Structure 1
């Protein structure tokens, strides 16, 4: 397995070079055939328009959109310069909502690479994609990286294991990176140690099965069982003590009115902007 095509999200308000160089490095290490630079943004539509201000606001809105086209051109040049012809690369741009557009573009790639949510240069949802929402919509694994990171070591990897569809998908999507890692640990949190009715089906019971599965894929792997009523706190403490540089996890959430609500573990991992996260849903 490998990542043949990597979709690289370029934030319209952030430096291009770090994320582009990181993607180039991933492409070389995992024999990718092409990188797809992607940038989407739009101008917010004014909420209040009166007959007196309508024409003026429409002109201002159109000017903002024209400015974005010029910015797209500059960002494409920076992306091409950073890639430097070392790997085949294409560019996609969209004058549209960035989160939705990136999710829709996911069908062209094996892996999406983007920045941490708190590293976006703006909180304006018309100018930067929300990584958590992208994970839940894309149907592809999303690698969320720290802001200035230009290379992901992925030598010490933690799999945050739950026996769920999302976690199973994330593990399978991460196999190329797990192959390259020096240490891989499947971590399961036993938050109900006395639940004998579910013996054999709990996360801690299936963690060893996941390790065996990965061993058959040639991955060097260990397991770690943590006992805690607070699975999020237990996992974050383990990540710090293990000095992990990549965590693999399923992402859990559901749509509410005009926004996404995330599970506690998912939200906490999205907030860990100092570590790379490979997430799938």
Structure 2
């Protein structure tokens, strides 16, 4: 089992080289095909009747500028990949998040940059990872901005016995298989037999895939702070976690 096709999403305003370098290296390790992708669009200006024609012309000009950006991004993508892996470029004049969610059907894994804060601030030119992970139906690997490698020496699974966590663990099996160390940690206010049993089952599931994992229980009422402390102390490279829509 492994990732056969990896999709790397590039925001039209970059950066390009670090993320493509990291994605190319990961594709090489998995002997996977790499798809470079970018989507962006221009907002249609709202004006009165008199300015309608002018607004339409301005919109078309902005879209032509985006198309020129796509060409530059493709050149940069192909220069970095440089035949190291089987690669393909795709772009779309579309909402970035919706475009990426549609392209996700072609890949086993999506790689993209982290956004600045909860949202990117420009839904026409950049993706919000939080939105993508809920729409794409594929695992999402979020790289810190500027990172040109995706180290997976130490991987931590942030475990809760939920549908989202179970799906995340299963999707991450290829990545966990190449990790040097794997930890599964659950942060709870109080330990019970249900939790111990679920951790034991996760450990057994991973062992069946040839992955040796250590399991941990951290008792703390401040789950986010406790998890971050665990990650820092263990110098974790990658965190595997489920995602939910908190507004639902």
Q: Please report the TM-score for the alignment, with normalisation by the length of structure 1.
A: 0.84
Are the aligned partners of 2:31 and 2:85 in contact in 1 as well (CA < 8 Å)?
A: no
Say which of 145, 148, 167 aligns to 2:146: 148
Distance of aligned partners of 1:3 and 1:119 in 2 relative to their CA distance in 1, 3 Å threshold = farther
> How far, CA to CA, are the matches of 1:166 and 1:19 in structure 2?
26
Residue 127 of structure 2 is aligned to residue 129 of structure 1: yes
User: What is aligned with 1:81?
Assistant: 79
1:171-222 CA-to-partner distances (Å, cap 9, x unmatched) read 11111111111111100112244xxxxx5433x4311210121112111210
> How far, CA to CA, are the matches of 2:139 and 2:146 in structure 1?
21
| Runs (5+) with no aligned partner, structure 1 | 194-198, 255-260, 263-281
Residue 99 of structure 2 aligns to a residue in which SS?
A: helix
Are the aligned partners of 1:12 and 1:75 in contact in 2 as well (CA < 8 Å)?
A: yes
> How far, CA to CA, are the matches of 2:7 and 2:237 in structure 1?
21
* 221-230 vs 107-116, which moves further: 221-230
User: What is aligned with 2:105?
Assistant: 107
Kindly state the Cα deviation for residue 242 of structure 1 after the two structures are TM-superposed: 1.0
Say which of 247, 250, 261 aligns to 2:242: 250
Q: Please report the TM-score for the alignment, with normalisation by the length of structure 2.
A: 0.95
> How far, CA to CA, are the matches of 2:200 and 2:235 in structure 1?
22
1:115-163 CA-to-partner distances (Å, cap 9, x unmatched) read 001189x621100011111101111000000111111111111100011
> How far, CA to CA, are the matches of 1:128 and 1:65 in structure 2?
15
> How far, CA to CA, are the matches of 1:119 and 1:200 in structure 2?
37
Say which of 155, 177, 182 aligns to 2:180: 182
> How far, CA to CA, are the matches of 1:167 and 1:37 in structure 2?
28
Are the aligned partners of 1:41 and 1:126 in contact in 2 as well (CA < 8 Å)?
A: yes
Residue 250 of structure 1 aligns to a residue in which SS?
A: coil
Residue 62 of structure 2 is aligned to residue 67 of structure 1: no
Are the aligned partners of 1:187 and 1:225 in contact in 2 as well (CA < 8 Å)?
A: yes
> How far, CA to CA, are the matches of 1:100 and 1:37 in structure 2?
16
User: What is aligned with 1:42?
Assistant: 41
> How far, CA to CA, are the matches of 2:9 and 2:126 in structure 1?
9
Are the aligned partners of 2:10 and 2:36 in contact in 1 as well (CA < 8 Å)?
A: yes
